[in-house]
Amino acid sequence: MPGNLTIESLKTLASEGQIDTVLVCMVDMQGRLMGKRFHVRNFIDSAHAETHCCNYLLATDLEMATPDGYASTSWHAGYGDYALHPDLTTLRLVPWLEGTAMVLCDVLDHHTHQPVAHSPREVLKRQIERLAAMGLTAMMASELEFFLFEQSYENIRKGGFHDLVPISGYNEDYHILQTTKEEVVMRPLRNHLFAAGIPVENSKGEAEAGQEELNIRYASALDCADHHTIAKHATKEIAWQKGHAASFLPKWHHTRVGSSAHIHMSLWRGELPAFFDPSAQWGMSDLMRQFMAGIIEYAPEYTVFLAPYINSYKRFMKGTFAPTKAVWSVDNRTAGFRLCGDGTRAVRVECRIGGSDLNPYLAQAALLAAGIKGIENGMALAPPAIGDVYQDGAARQIPTTLREATGTLRNSAMLREAMGDAVINHYVRCAEWEQEEFDRVVTDWEIARGFERA
């Protein structure tokens, strides 16, 4: 579902005094919204066509540092501009902010006005275009898991991120009583997102104290990524408005279950589900089998796009519903890939590897690239795994550290072919920097363990 405003309807709302601010946003490498707040009149008069930003926004980290080693920009190159081109199909209301609308932008080279290849939205668009040339459309949905905390962001920060207290005191998986207590955040989140044109289906308690899940209806791949990004942003803002903090950190405590971002996917030819063959076992068409064989075969190579940070890999522990093996199964949550809706037109594959910190554009693009390769090569799908996959010693392990995953990304011929060397080199450098930043830090664990006893 695209946005729910047009330039004409925005003009009407502006003249009536209902909208005075437009958020003009791009998506950065970390999947965050970055941009400017425009007075609505300036946006209508000129900024709806183009504005600009510093090109370091696609060569930075979570701390907004300026790492070296990027080919796209640097201190030596002077950190110039990108052009931001608003995608007016994404123009929408932002009901949780008074008098505000939002639009997402494509990122263009300031001089050539060509798309910036390593911009997350462009990375996904390239794979969508490859599918279109095959007569196929990807339909996708992602699940957003996160934790709500009693304290506000400000209080947690001032307390040094210690003594974090979840908003509930016990596992609330599907729990109606406990989630009623959290409706102060979750009800406005659902309703505001729906009013913003994002087709929210439901929210539920997840399998830990204070853990939530937000589910949004499936959509075309680009819309799905847009929905995910805006919903994640809205979750943080609405929690903040209510005096609470929401965190998408995959593993905030070693004794707590982690947070994921499962991605469901299927391919369609026009109005027909290309994954569905009513005469085949589980309703899986040959095309679906080839696609699944590709995403399983290349899973170790694109793990960085599913788990981009040091903390991401702390989530991968047996018995936590965070899968560690690149195999598939029929409705079995211990496998990295789960067949859902078997035997029906809704047959699809769910990737369960990704954490809540993933960038949905990059994750979806990598999955599609691997699936396309499976189709192009007519790859054969192995039989499904059965039972507790955590205990399957023959099943192939995904990378268990960011360092290992960075190596598999660097050496991926498939992704280099699908996305281009420059894009892969860019995100390899992003992962390398994250590792370098962690390696130079002395952690609380090291000090407590060895201060006296070492």
In this prediction, residue 332 has a pLDDT band, given cuts at 50, 70 and 90, of confident
Amino acid 43 reads F
Name beta bridge partners: 100: 21
With 0-12 / 13-18 / 19 or more C-beta atoms within 10 angstroms meaning exposed / middle / buried, residue 452 is exposed
For residue 429, what pLDDT is reported?
97
For residue 393, what pLDDT is reported?
77
Tell which CATH architecture fits domain 128-445.
2-Layer Sandwich (3.30)
Q: Which of 240, 210, 198 is nearest to 104 (CA)?
A: 198
In this prediction, residue 222 has a pLDDT band, given cuts at 50, 70 and 90, of very high
Q: Strand ranges (DSSP E) for 219-364?
A: 219-220, 245-247, 263-269, 272-273, 328-330, 337-340, 348-351
pTM as predicted: 0.96
- Phi then psi dihedrals of residue 414, to 5 deg: -60, -50
Listed by start position, the domains of the chain span: 7-115, 128-445
Q: Which two tokens stand for residue 86?
A: 């608003």
Q: How far is CA 332 from CA 64, 345, 388, 390, in A?
A: 39, 19, 8, 11
State how far the Cα of 19 lies from the Cα of 164, in Å rounded to an integer: 37
Tens-digit pLDDT profile for residues 197-213? 999 999 999 989 999 99
For residue 396, what pLDDT is reported?
86
Q: Which two tokens stand for residue 165?
A: 């207290």
| Topology annotation, domain 7-115 | Ubiquitin-like (UB roll) (3.10.20)
Name beta bridge partners: 23: 37, 102
Count of C-beta atoms within a 10 Å radius of residue 133: 8
Tens-digit pLDDT profile for residues 335-378? 899 999 999 999 999 999 999 999 999 999 999 999 999 999 99
Q: Name the more confident of 39 and 336.
A: 39
C-alpha radius of gyration, the chain, whole number: 22
State how far the Cα of 259 lies from the Cα of 321, in Å rounded to an integer: 10
Residue 1 has pLDDT above 70, yes or no: no
If you average pLDDT over residues 104-121, what whole number do you get?
96
For residue 320, what pLDDT is reported?
74
